[in-house]
Structure 1
Amino acid sequence: MSTTQSERLRGLLEPLVSAADLDLEEIEVSRAGRRRMLRIIVDSEEGATLDACAELSRAVSEKLDETDAMGEEEYVLEVSSPGADRPLLQHHHYVRATGRLAKFQLNDGDEFVARILTVDDEGLDLEIPGVKGRKPTARRVAFADIAKARVELEFSRKDKKEEEA
């Protein structure tokens, strides 16, 4: 996809996404056999619900039908949330993941899993879980030192509201 098409799509769709109280995280156009796939990833502070994605999908479909932004060729439209194990790429991703476990790969090759405790402009305060009866340890990581980070799935995670009570 050319940068021009990506910018056109973002400019066209961002007002619709904002009107739905969502954030436009990503627009991706790819091939799926003979058709193209337009994947739109949205999120919000509370998360993007299935109903919100379905409603936005209808609005996006109508808007794309009114314009030639996707050209004449057939395409499949998919509007979804980033998923539970989302990559952490931007500052607000880390803020939204506060309280969650994440897997970190640092620029020096160090890899570990830790809970995100706080986020500021320079980096993160983390808690690395204790292993075999050991106490958890605190660690500070600067954003500049992070090569990759991804939220880890937790099946027995305490809800933030439970922890505050």
Structure 2
Amino acid sequence: MALQIEEIRAMAVRVAASHHLELVELEFQGGVKFRTLRVFLEKDAEERAKLAALVENGEEIDLPRGVPVEMLSGVTHEDCANFARDFGTMLDVEDLIPGAEYTLEVSSPGLERKLSKAEDFTRFQGSLIKLQTFTAINNNRQWQGRLTAFADDILTLDLAAIKQKGNAKKATTEQVVTIPLANVEKANLIAEI
């Protein structure tokens, strides 16, 4: 029996929704003996809006200093434990992961979360990001900067927002670079603390 990753993903989405959570990412790694299913969750949009409203109203919330509320997933240890219990039970009942042994890890995506969908780039406009492209732009595949705009599947990075390293320094004297979303191999937020 082969691993049915899309069925696992669909089940994770359903279980997460029942806990007012959203699936950010799901990955399965390992060989025969040491297999790990990692699930990254955040509060759903409604719950994130409630968290933001509390912060706006001056409520005391345990936020890391200097971290914008939108960068937080809002997920607690209790959220992860409840999801893991329900999701793990369903995985075992449906037998979607063949073989007896695997490790289920559930967590928030973290402050330097992966950006993969167009919605991620829209949501995190104004944030510092680092990314790697499939093909070089101005002889460079590694970029860091502030995501100033995302429209029509084109990212606009302000390179002056962060000190460039290596080839990016040499690659351009321009302060702004535009990158098509289709050319983004991987991207992550850069925590601003």
TM-score (norm 1): 0.71
Cα 1:6–1:33, aligned 2, differ >3 Å: closer, same or farther?
closer
Amino acid at match of 2:25: E
* Cα distance in 1 for residues equivalent to 2:182 and 2:31: 36
Cα separation, 1, equivalents of 2:40 and 2:155:
25
**Counterpart residue number, 1:114:** 145
Question: How far did residue 48 of structure 1 move?
Answer: 4.7
Does 1:153 find its partner at 2:152?
Answer: no
Q: 1:13 to 1:112 in 2, by over 3 A?
A: closer
Q: Structure 1 pair 104/37, CA: closer, same or farther in 2 (3 Å)? A: closer
Distance 1:151-1:61 versus aligned 2 partners, 3 A rule: same
**How well do the aligned residues superpose, as a CA RMSD in angstroms?**
3.0
Q: Which residues of structure 1 form unaligned runs of 5+? A: 156-165
Q: Which residue of 2 aligns with 1:26?
A: 25
Which of 102, 127, 131 is the equivalent residue of 1:75? 102
**Segments of 4+ moved more than 6 angstroms:** none
- The answer (yes or no) to whether the contact 1:35–1:73 under 8 Å persists in 2 is no
**Other-structure match for 2:178:** 140
Equivalent residue, structure 2, for 1:97: 124
SS at match of 2:114: coil
In structure 2, the CA distance between the partners of 1:62 and 1:86, relative to structure 1 (3 Å rule), is: same
Q: Distance in 1 between matches of 2:109 and 2:145?
A: 20
Q: In 1, distance between residues paired with 2:35 and 2:100? A: 8
Call closer, same or farther: CA 1:61–1:48 in 2, change over 3 Å. Answer: farther
139-148 or 109-118: bigger deviation: 139-148
CA distance in 2, matches of 1:148, 1:27: 15
Structure with the higher helix share, 1 or 2 = 2
Q: How many residues align?
A: 151
Higher relative contact order (CA 8 A, sep 6+): 2
Shift in Å, 1:113: 1.6
- Output the CA distance in 1 between the equivalents of 2:33 and 2:113: 28
Per-residue CA shift, 1:95-116, capped at 9, x if unaligned?
2322211123342242332111
2:88 matched to 1:61?
yes
Specify which structure has the higher proportion of strand: 1
What is the distance in 1 between the residues matched to 2:162 and 2:115?
25
Shift of 1:126: 2.8
Deviates more, 1:93-102 or 1:61-70: 61-70
